[in-house]
């Protein structure tokens, strides 16, 4: 893995930071990207290359490295509102960040992967790429779109040694999830603790938040030596949500 170079988006915290740490532990040369430059400081201190970038600036993505063997599309945000109150500009912003940006990053890194005859595209999707929840129109739409994009890349990349997969966690202990508690509390007229128990964890059998390191382990599996035939799949880490 020492010859591989990875680009991880949304790497300043949560799942992205965990993925950057995990891949670096395997010897991968990691490029950690996030618009939060200050949040990348800890990774930089460990010798991981960091880049501050606004991933919704689609033209600006051309400035990111393209000699990438492993692409981890992780960056994401959430907005909670009923459809009739959902701001259209916010809907578009979420789709740019979580669907258009991954498409553009995949598009510009595939040629390098094809030339090398090896590549791994890992899309951090969500259980919401497979199931819907109220009040999350943009997030659910983006993740469903990411699932389809990932499968197309799997089919096109297979002759070139490139795999493409999604990782689908339920609620992970990240700033994105903790920030939802207040929004959901307001919508449902509950306390934040009640939101965690009665809304976020209600559909799952394993009643706890997932840790970012658990997601990172699946990412490492998809990039490892046993992953050549694992493509076009969605690896579900949802505590039993989709077992219903």
Does residue 139 carry a catalytic annotation?
Answer: yes
Helices (H) and strands (E) in the chain, counts: 8, 7
* Nearest CA among 123, 212, 128 for reference residue 173: 212
* Nearest CA among 96, 68, 92 for reference residue 7: 68
What is the spatial distance between Cα 131 and Cα 12, in angstroms, rounded to a whole number? 27
pLDDT tens string, the chain, 244 residues long: the values are: 779 999 999 999 999 999 999 999 999 999 999 999 999 999 999 999 999 999 999 999 999 999 999 999 999 999 999 999 999 999 999 999 999 999 999 999 999 999 999 999 999 999 999 999 999 999 999 999 999 999 999 999 999 999 999 999 999 988 878 877 887 788 888 898 888 888 888 999 999 999 999 999 999 999 999 999 999 999 999 999 999 8
- The catalytic residue among 93, 114, 135, 139 is 139
């Amino acid at each position: 893995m020492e010859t591989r170079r990875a680009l991880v988006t949304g790497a300043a915290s949560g799942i992205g930071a965990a993925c950057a740490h995990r891949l670096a532990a395997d010897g991968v040369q990691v490029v950690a990207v996030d618009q939060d430059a200050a949040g990348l400081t800890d990774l930089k201190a460990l010798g991981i290359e960091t880049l501050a970038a606004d991933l919704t600036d689609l033209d600006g993505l051309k400035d990111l490295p393209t000699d990438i063997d492993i692409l981890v599309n992780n960056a994401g945000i959430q907005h909670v509102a009923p459809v009739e109150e959902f701001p259209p500009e916010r809907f578009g912003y979420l789709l740019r960040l979580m669907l258009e940006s991954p498409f553009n990053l995949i598009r510009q890194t595939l040629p390098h992967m094809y030339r090398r005859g090896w590549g791994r595209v890992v899309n951090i999707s969500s259980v919401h790429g497979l199931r819907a929840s109220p009040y999350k129109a943009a997030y659910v739409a983006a993740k469903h779109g990411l699932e389809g994009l990932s499968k197309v890349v799997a089919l096109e990349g297979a002759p070139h040694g490139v795999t493409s997969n999604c990782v689908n966690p339920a609620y992970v202990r990240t700033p994105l999830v903790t920030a939802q508690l207040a929004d959901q509390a307001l919508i449902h007229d509950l306390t934040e603790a009640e939101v965690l128990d009665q809304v976020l964890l209600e559909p799952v059998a394993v009643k706890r938040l997932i840790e970012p390191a658990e997601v990172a382990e699946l990412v490492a599996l998809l990039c490892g030596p046993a992953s050549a035939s694992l493509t076009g799949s969605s690896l579900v880490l949802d505590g039993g949500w989709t077992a219903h």
